[in-house]
Amino acid sequence: MTDRIYLDWNATAPLRPAAHAAMLGALDQLGNPSSVHAEGRAARHLVETAREQVAALVGADPRSVIFTSGGTEANALALTPTIERPGHKEPLARLLVSAIEHPSVLSGGRFHGSVEEIAVTGDGVVDLGDLERRLGGPGSALVSIMHANNETGALQPIAAAADLVHAAGGVLHVDAVQAAGRIPCDIKALKADLVTVSSHKIGGPQGAGALVKAAEGLHFAEPLLKGGGQERGSRAGTENVAALAGFGAAAREAATSLSAEGQRVATLRERLEAGLRESAPQAVIFGVAAERLPNTTLFAVPGVKAETALMGLDLAGIAASSGSACSSGRVAASHVLRAMGVPPALAAGAVRLSLGRNTTETEIEGFLIAWRKLLSRLFRGDKGGLAA
Is 326 part of the annotated catalytic residue set?
A: yes
Q: How many CA atoms lie within 13 A of 118 on its CB side?
A: 29
Q: What is the pLDDT of residues 296-348, one digit of tens each?
A: 999 999 999 999 999 999 999 999 999 655 444 556 789 999 999 999 999 99
Q: How many CA atoms lie within 13 A of 380 on its CB side?
A: 8
What are residue 155's DSSP bridge partners?
148
Each as own residue / partner, the long-range contacts of residues 184-189 (CB below 8 Å, 24 or more positions apart, any chain) are 184/258, 185/57, 185/58, 185/59, 185/147, 186/58, 186/59, 187/58, 187/59, 187/60, 187/212, 187/214, 188/59, 188/214, 189/59, 189/159
Q: Would you tell me how many other CB atoms lie within 10 Å of the CB of residue 128? A: 16
Round to whole Å and give the CA distance between 23 and 17: 10
Residue 136 has pLDDT above 50, yes or no: yes
Q: What is the pLDDT of residues 216-268, one digit of tens each?
A: 789 998 888 999 889 999 999 999 999 999 999 999 999 998 989 999 999 99
Predicted TM-score of the model (pTM): 0.94
Residue 388, classified by CB atoms within 10 Å of its CB into exposed (0-12), middle (13-18) or buried (19+), is exposed
Round to whole Å and give the CA distance between 240 and 26: 10
Residue 386 has pLDDT above 80, yes or no: no
Round to whole Å and give the CA distance between 142 and 234: 18
* Phi (first) and psi of residue 9, to 5 degrees: -65, -25
Q: What is the pLDDT of residues 74-121, one digit of tens each?
A: 999 999 999 998 888 888 999 999 999 999 999 999 998 789 999 999
Three-class secondary structure of residue 84 per DSSP: strand
Length of the chain counted residue by residue: 388
Quote the pLDDT of residue 73.
97
Q: What is the pLDDT of residues 339-381, one digit of tens each?
A: 999 999 999 999 999 999 999 999 999 999 999 999 999 988 6
Q: What percent of the chain has pLDDT over 90?
A: 86
CB-based burial, 86-113: b 16+ in 10 Å, e otherwise: eeeeeebebbbbbbbbbebbbebbebee
Question: Which domains are assigned to the chain?
Answer: 5-13+258-379 (3.90.1150.10), 17-256 (3.40.640.10)
Each as own residue / partner, the long-range contacts of residues 330-338 (CB below 8 Å, 24 or more positions apart, any chain) are 331/306, 331/307, 334/151, 335/99, 335/100, 335/106, 336/99, 336/100, 336/124, 336/149, 336/151, 336/152, 337/151, 337/286
Do the Cβ atoms of 307 and 387 come closer than 8 Å? yes
List the catalytic residue out of 326, 333, 368, 369.
Answer: 326
